[in-house]
């Protein structure tokens, strides 16, 4: 076998792994300790990802208790995701340099304290501030969870461990939504923060006991300029695509954020090409597996978060489910996805990366199309279940091989950056998917419902035209006329689902075509501990 992956032009200095020898030997010889490490990392990961979706079901309660405006409610959600996405790359590199374990433990403490203060927040401003701080803690946690696994597990066990991690990464949002819905249905919104605090405390205890100290001695300096540019590029993009659907794509804030992102992105590439010790060597994207894995993850999370947005509203507003029942309706996706995420790396190792990614993308596209053509308000949940199951199968086949392709393309001393790149792609995919599908859904819904609301006074027409949630609230107070308007709103939402879902399916099909045409043809994940890169079977 020959190594087919181009070596990066620079690494962050002349570096050697400092996973301490005695502890490394213990890891190889003690599978129980490896299990405890994997448990600690997956619990921490779920705490971070669950916090992305956890407050979505509590927004009405927050508005009532804190007097929060719609803009403030958006920032309660977006403040966390924006901070998390923007800081992933530089914090991943810091973990490689300062030590993965101390950065993880510090992140768990910051994350827990921010969530604790959030539970006692009495103003929207304080809650937003704590959500931003929680995002800082989450950025210290998320990339380290994967880099600890890739640097602690021997090569023969690494694929399965990464698969389990990827399964929890995909299911974390669903689990968080389900837990939060159960809490909102039975308690007050501050109790939502008990879940991430408890998970973080459990991970802190397991990490303290089981996770080894690992870091890389770097002779070169830290790429501060690249770090700042990456924060501006990612942060500006996430801000712009979050604000675009709400404020409008021509709003000054949206334009400023997207322009800042574009300028910073171009500057980041220019700086990294000249930097002797770059934060992320952009030449690495010449590695087909790295580029293909990144694109597949971007699209997977874009489609998956789009479906979360659409299906939760469909189950609640159109089918009349409670928040808990709507969250439970997504659980079959996780039940199919998680076992496939564990099995997929072994299949990719035997058959190659390209075939499983192509099949997975086509399966995911088929699931989205099934949702678009089969969803029927009168047919109930069974009309959406086949699409959910097919989608879960496709996502399960893609996530862990794509993650393994990214981490295997970078050397051990850069695993924090590899993990951060993997996580950044996921966050960007989710943000882009929500923005695009939400814009298409809302535009089609509005054009479909405006005829039915044309004769209503503005104070009634406006909330109905704004979305299905407003339609539910208003029409329930209008008697017989409300029933007719609600039926029109349900149909308008279903009309909007079609274009949004077909857009997601189109993205998946185009990604499958790209992967088939330009993806790695003969590459598989190496099983030789001496060579953790992608190797050519020829």
Q: Is 105 left (phi over 0), alpha (psi -120 to 50) or beta?
A: alpha
Radius of gyration for the alpha carbons in the chain, expressed in angstroms and rounded = 23
Helix (H, G, I), strand (E, B) or coil at 217: strand
Pairwise CA distance, residues 426 & 107, whole Å: 20
Residue 194 token pair: 């008990």
Q: What is the mean pLDDT of residues 384-410?
A: 92
Pairwise CA distance, residues 411 & 530, whole Å: 11
Pairwise CA distance, residues 104 & 91, whole Å: 10
Residue 152 token pair: 């602690």
CA-wise closest residue to 449 among 490, 411, 502, 417: 490
pLDDT at residue number 537: 37
pLDDT, tens digit, 9 for 90 and up, residues 130-174: 999 999 999 999 989 988 888 888 888 888 899 999 889 888 888
pLDDT at residue number 8: 42
Q: What is the mean pLDDT of residues 439-457?
A: 83
With bands split at pLDDT 50, 70 and 90, how would you rate the model's confidence at 418?
A: confident
Long-range pairs for 24-33 at CB < 8 Å and ≥24 separation? 24/212, 26/212, 27/152, 27/153, 27/154, 27/212, 28/154, 33/210
Helix (H, G, I), strand (E, B) or coil at 411: coil
371 backbone dihedrals φ, ψ, rounded to 5°:
-65, -40
CA-wise closest residue to 424 among 268, 535, 532: 268
Would you say 430 and 453 are in contact if contact means Cβ atoms under 8 Å apart?
Answer: no
Q: What is the mean pLDDT of residues 405-420?
A: 80
pLDDT, tens digit, 9 for 90 and up, residues 221-243: 788 899 999 999 989 988 888 78
Would you say 438 and 310 are in contact if contact means Cβ atoms under 8 Å apart?
Answer: no
154 backbone dihedrals φ, ψ, rounded to 5°:
-65, 160
With bands split at pLDDT 50, 70 and 90, how would you rate the model's confidence at 321?
A: confident
List Cβ neighbours of 75 (8 Å cut-off, separation of 6 or more): 128, 131
With bands split at pLDDT 50, 70 and 90, how would you rate the model's confidence at 24?
A: very low
Q: What is the mean pLDDT of residues 492-519?
A: 92
For the ranges 3-7, 271-275, 413-417, the maximum mean pLDDT occurs at 271-275
pLDDT at residue number 536: 41
pLDDT at residue number 17: 39
With bands split at pLDDT 50, 70 and 90, how would you rate the model's confidence at 27?
A: very low
Would you say 212 and 152 are in contact if contact means Cβ atoms under 8 Å apart?
Answer: yes
With bands split at pLDDT 50, 70 and 90, how would you rate the model's confidence at 220?
A: low
Residue 200 token pair: 């973080």
pLDDT at residue number 475: 77
Q: What is the mean pLDDT of residues 166-195?
A: 88
Task: List the beta bridge partners of residue 536.
Answer: 2, 523
Residue 250 token pair: 């021509």
Q: What is the mean pLDDT of residues 193-220?
A: 84
Bridge pairing between strands 534-536 and 523-525:
antiparallel
pLDDT of 10 strictly over 60: no
Q: What is the mean pLDDT of residues 351-372?
A: 94
pLDDT, tens digit, 9 for 90 and up, residues 253-286: 999 999 999 999 999 999 999 988 888 888 888 8
pLDDT at residue number 225: 92
Pairwise CA distance, residues 307 & 53, whole Å: 13
pLDDT, tens digit, 9 for 90 and up, residues 278-309: 888 888 888 888 999 999 999 999 999 888 88
List Cβ neighbours of 291 (8 Å cut-off, separation of 6 or more): 285
Q: What is the mean pLDDT of residues 390-413?
A: 89
Range name among 44-58, 65-79, 314-328 with the lowest pLDDT average: 65-79
Work out the burial of residue 64: count CB atoms within 10 Å of its CB; fewer than 13 is exposed, 13-18 middle, 19 or more buried.
Answer: exposed
pLDDT of 244 strictly over 90: no
List Cβ neighbours of 500 (8 Å cut-off, separation of 6 or more): 306, 310, 437, 438, 440, 441, 444
More confident call, 40 vs 21: 40
Pairwise CA distance, residues 203 & 218, whole Å: 28
pLDDT of 29 strictly over 70: no
pLDDT at residue number 116: 97
Q: Positive or negative, the Cα torsion across 401, 403, 406, 412?
A: negative
pLDDT at residue number 258: 94
Pairwise CA distance, residues 18 & 207, whole Å: 18
Percent of the chain with pLDDT over 90: 37
pLDDT of 124 strictly over 70: yes
- Average pLDDT over the chain, rounded to an integer: 84
pLDDT of 93 strictly over 90: no
Q: What is the mean pLDDT of residues 71-98?
A: 84
pLDDT, tens digit, 9 for 90 and up, residues 30-58: 788 889 999 999 999 999 998 987 887 78
Q: Provide the residue count of the chain.
A: 538
pLDDT, tens digit, 9 for 90 and up, residues 347-357: 988 888 999 99
pLDDT at residue number 303: 92
pLDDT at residue number 152: 84
């Amino acid at each position: 076998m020959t190594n087919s992956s181009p070596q990066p032009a620079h690494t962050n200095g002349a570096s050697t792994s400092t996973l301490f020898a005695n502890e490394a030997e213990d890891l190889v010889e003690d599978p129980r300790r490896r299990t405890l490490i994997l448990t600690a990392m997956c619990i921490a990961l779920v705490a971070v990802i669950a916090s992305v979706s956890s407050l979505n079901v509590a927004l009405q309660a927050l508005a009532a208790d804190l007097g929060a405006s719609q803009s403030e409610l958006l920032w309660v959600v977006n403040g966390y995701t924006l901070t998390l996405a923007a800081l992933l790359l530089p914090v991943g590199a810091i973990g490689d340099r300062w030590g993965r374990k101390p950065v993880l433990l510090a992140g768990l403490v910051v994350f827990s304290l921010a969530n604790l203060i959030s539970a006692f927040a009495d103003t929207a401003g304080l809650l937003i501030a704590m959500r931003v701080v929680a995002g800082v803690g989450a950025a210290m946690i998320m990339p380290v969870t994967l880099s600890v696994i890739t640097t602690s597990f021997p090569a023969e066990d690494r694929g399965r461990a990464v698969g389990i991690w990827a399964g929890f990464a995909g299911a974390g949002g669903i689990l968080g939504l389900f837990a939060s819905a159960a809490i909102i249905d039975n308690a007050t919104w501050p109790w939502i923060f008990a879940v991430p605090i408890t998970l973080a405390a459990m991970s802190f205890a397991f990490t303290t006991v089981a996770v080894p100290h690992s870091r890389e001695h770097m002779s070169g300096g830290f790429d501060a300029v690249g770090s700042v540019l990456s924060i501006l590029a990612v942060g500006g993009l996430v801000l712009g695509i979050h604000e675009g659907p709400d404020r409008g794509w021509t709003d000054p804030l949206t334009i400023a954020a997207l322009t800042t992102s574009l300028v910073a992105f171009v500057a980041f590439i220019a700086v990294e090409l000249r930097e002797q010790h770059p934060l992320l060597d952009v030449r690495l994207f010449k590695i087909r597996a790295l580029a293909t894995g990144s694109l597949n993850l971007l699209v997977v999370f874009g489609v998956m978060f789009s479906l979360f947005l659409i299906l939760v509203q469909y189950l609640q507003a159109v089918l009349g489910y409670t928040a808990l029942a709507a969250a439970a309706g997504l659980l079959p996706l996780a039940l199919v996805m998680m076992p496939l995420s564990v099995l997929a790396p072994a299949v990719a190792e035997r058959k190659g990366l390209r075939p499983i990614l192509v099949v997975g993308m086509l399966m995911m596209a088929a699931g989205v199309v099934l949702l678009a053509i089969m969803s029927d308000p009168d047919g109930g949940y069974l009309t959406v279940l086949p699409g959910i199951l097919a989608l879960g199968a496709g996502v399960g086949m893609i996530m862990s091989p794509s993650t393994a392709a990214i981490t295997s393309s970078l050397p051990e001393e850069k695993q924090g950056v590899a993990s951060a790149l993997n996580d950044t792609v996921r966050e960007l995919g989710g943000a882009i998917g929500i923005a695009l599908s939400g814009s298409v859904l809302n535009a089609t819904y509005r054009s479909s419902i405006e005829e039915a609301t044309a004769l209503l006074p503005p104070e009634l027409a406006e909330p109905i035209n704004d979305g299905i949630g407003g339609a539910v609230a208003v029409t329930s107070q209008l008697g017989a006329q409300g029933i007719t308007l609600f039926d029109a709103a349900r149909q308008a939402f279903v009309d909007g689902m079609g274009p949004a879902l077909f857009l997601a399916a189109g993205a998946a099909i185009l990604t499958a075509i790209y992967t088939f045409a330009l993806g790695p043809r003969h590459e598989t994940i190496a099983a030789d501990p001496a060579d953790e890169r992608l190797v050519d079977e020829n």
